[in-house]
């Protein structure tokens, strides 16, 4: 099993990656709460024209030239590729045993800042005036409506629908593999029908032009219901919460994808099921914005404790590599910037961030 191979590889490697920051000497007092927060809304509560504005900005990102430093010799072409590449570079350490941003204590913090970085690029580089929308998949999962009719997949004011049916379903580096995909090939309608993705699948960072692939997977729907989310939201401490969202350290990844972080990726099949390059799927950012909203709601149930509660391992499956600290550094590389301390992203209306949820 590939999972066992990876664990074996990880076990043989010295701890390395995420950077515990140097101790700051002065405890900085809380800066004022930000004045004009971006207001993030659920996809369906945007007007049709607002949805099209968002989609146009994403298409713009797939056409804007990359800002990656030339000396990295990556296969990136567009700004959208830049974000995909940063997610790949930040994730493939899970396979190589050097770390990564999943199955670690800073998973929620890293993806919070990554989503903010993407939203910032949409606004600053592609003229988008709104905030990052989120997709509350509970509404669809609870509804009983067939996936083909879900608004998120609408071909004219959504992200387009299923990929073409292909016999070989596992065309990406999909891991762990989950049966039940209904397509698997190139998306053939909607705004990303002709989009060229230049990096991925898996750890591929060389120039590899390919289409966006999807294979809608109804088998994941029961894992995305309100009842499933309620289990996580009731957790009493950060480590239990984090484990309920992305999986505990001793969990088999095949079970982990039944938790809502994983299933929210696996539901689209195709590129989205790729542990390393799931960011090829543009809905990635709406899924992570929703995870962030749930995390924020969980924090707000006990803000005194939870606005500064962090922990967990720095390197996946290395119990001795933690605990993650508020002074650890998050690195967005050429997607945004490096050197943001975790404590700067614990509050979405303070520090590095300025947004809210509606
Ligand atoms: Cu990720």
273 Cα: distance to centroid of ligand 1 (angstroms): 11
330 Cα: distance to centroid of ligand 1 (angstroms): 13
Burial classification of residue 36, based on how many CB atoms lie within 10 Å of its CB (0-12 exposed, 13-18 middle, 19 or more buried): exposed
Mean per-residue pLDDT of the chain: 90
In the three-class reduction of DSSP (H, G, I as helix; E, B as strand; rest coil), residue 313 is classed as: coil
Nearest to 316 by CA among 251, 261, 265: 251
| Structure-token pair, residue 278 | 């799931």
Q: What is the dihedral of CA 300, 142, 290, 306, to 10 degrees?
A: 20
In the three-class reduction of DSSP (H, G, I as helix; E, B as strand; rest coil), residue 62 is classed as: coil
208 Cα: distance to centroid of ligand 1 (angstroms): 20
278 Cα: distance to centroid of ligand 1 (angstroms): 7
pLDDT bucket at 200, cuts 50 / 70 / 90 = very high
CA angle, corner 66, sides to 62 and 70, nearest 5? Answer: 155
Quick check: 133 pLDDT over 50?
A: yes
| Structure-token pair, residue 46 | 């945007």
Task: Give 5 or 155, the one with higher predicted confidence.
Answer: 155
276 Cα: distance to centroid of ligand 1 (angstroms): 7
27 Cα: distance to centroid of ligand 1 (angstroms): 31
91 Cα: distance to centroid of ligand 1 (angstroms): 7
Give me the pLDDT at residue 174, please.
65
39 Cα: distance to centroid of ligand 1 (angstroms): 23
Assess whether the previous peptide bond of 92 is cis (omega < 30° from 0).
Answer: no
150 Cα: distance to centroid of ligand 1 (angstroms): 24
CA angle, corner 194, sides to 189 and 269, nearest 5? Answer: 60
Give me the pLDDT at residue 171, please.
59
Q: For the chain, state the CA radius of gyration.
A: 19
CA dihedral sign of residues 13, 113, 195, 73: negative
283 Cα: distance to centroid of ligand 1 (angstroms): 12
What confidence tens digit (pLDDT) does each residue in 77-89 have?
999 999 999 999 9
Q: How far is CA 6 from CA 45, 81, 175, 353, in A?
A: 42, 26, 11, 35
111 Cα: distance to centroid of ligand 1 (angstroms): 6
Q: pTM for the complete prediction?
A: 0.91
102 Cα: distance to centroid of ligand 1 (angstroms): 6
CA angle, corner 43, sides to 36 and 45, nearest 5? Answer: 75
Ordered by where they begin, the domains of the chain are 46-357 (1.10.1280.10)
Residue percentage of the chain with pLDDT more than 70: 88
Quick check: 170 pLDDT over 90?
A: no
Quick check: 3 pLDDT over 50?
A: no
Give the chain's length. Answer: 358
> Using an 8 Å Cβ cutoff, are 271 and 278 in contact?
yes
- Residues in CB range of 258: below 8 A, 6 or more apart: 223
What per-residue string of b and e applies to 203-237 under the rule 16 or more CB within 10 Å gives b? bbbeeeebbbbbbbbebbbebbeeebbeebeeeee
32 Cα: distance to centroid of ligand 1 (angstroms): 30
Count CB atoms within 10 A of the CB of residue 134. 24
262 Cα: distance to centroid of ligand 1 (angstroms): 10
pLDDT bucket at 8, cuts 50 / 70 / 90 = very low
> Using an 8 Å Cβ cutoff, are 179 and 205 in contact?
no
The Cα–Cα gap between 329 and 317 comes to 20
108 Cα: distance to centroid of ligand 1 (angstroms): 9
Quick check: 129 pLDDT over 80?
A: yes
The Cα–Cα gap between 195 and 65 comes to 14
Nearest to 85 by CA among 354, 358, 336: 336
Distance, first Cα to last Cα, the chain? 43
> Using an 8 Å Cβ cutoff, are 19 and 315 in contact?
no
Mean pLDDT to the nearest integer, 120-131: 98
CA angle, corner 115, sides to 176 and 120, nearest 5? Answer: 150
110 Cα: distance to centroid of ligand 1 (angstroms): 8
200 Cα: distance to centroid of ligand 1 (angstroms): 14
115 Cα: distance to centroid of ligand 1 (angstroms): 10
CA dihedral sign of residues 78, 82, 84, 88: positive
101 Cα: distance to centroid of ligand 1 (angstroms): 7
């Amino acid at each position: 099993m590939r999972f066992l191979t990876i664990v074996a590889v990880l076990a043989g490697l010295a701890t390395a990656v995420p950077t515990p920051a140097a101790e700051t000497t002065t405890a900085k007092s809380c800066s004022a709460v930000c004045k004009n927060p971006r207001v993030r809304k659920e996809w369906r509560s945007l007007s049709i024209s607002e949805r099209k504005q968002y989609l146009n900005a994403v298409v713009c990102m797939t056409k804007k030239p990359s800002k990656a430093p030339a000396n990295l010799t990556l296969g990136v072409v567009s700004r959208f590729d830049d974000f995909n590449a940063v997610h790949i570079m930040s994730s493939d350490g899970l396979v190589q045993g050097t770390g990564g941003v999943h199955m670690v204590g800073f998973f929620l913090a890293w993806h919070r800042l990554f989503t903010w970085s993407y939203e910032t690029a949409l606004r600053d580089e592609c003229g988008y005036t709104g905030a990052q929308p989120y997709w509350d998949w509970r509404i669809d999962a609870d509804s009983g409506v067939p996936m083909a009719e879900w608004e998120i997949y609408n071909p004219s004011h959504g992200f387009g629908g299923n990929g073409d049916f292909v016999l070989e379903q596992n065309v990406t580096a999909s891991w762990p593999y989950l049966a039940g995909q209904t397509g698997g090939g190139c998306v053939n309608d909607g705004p990303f029908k002709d989009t060229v993705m230049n990096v991925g699948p898996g750890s591929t960072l060389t120039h590899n032009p390919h289409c966006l692939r999807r294979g809608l997977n109804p088998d994941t729907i029961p894992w995305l219901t309100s009842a499933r989310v309620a289990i996580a939201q009731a957790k009493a401490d950060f480590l239990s919460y984090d484990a309920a969202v992305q999986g505990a350290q001793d969990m088999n990844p095949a079970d982990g994808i039944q938790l809502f972080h994983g299933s929210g990726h696996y539901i689209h099949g195709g590129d989205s099921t790729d542990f390393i390059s799931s960011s090829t799927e543009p809905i990635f950012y709406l899924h992570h914005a929703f995870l962030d909203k749930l995390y924020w709601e969980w924090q707000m149930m006990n803000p005194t404790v939870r606005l500064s509660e962090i922990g967990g391992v720095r390197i996946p499956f290395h119990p001795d590599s933690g605990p993650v600290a508020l002074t650890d550094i998050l690195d967005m590389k050429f997607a945004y910037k490096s050197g943001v301390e975790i404590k700067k992203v614990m509050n979405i209306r303070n520090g590095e961030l300025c947004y809210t949820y509606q």
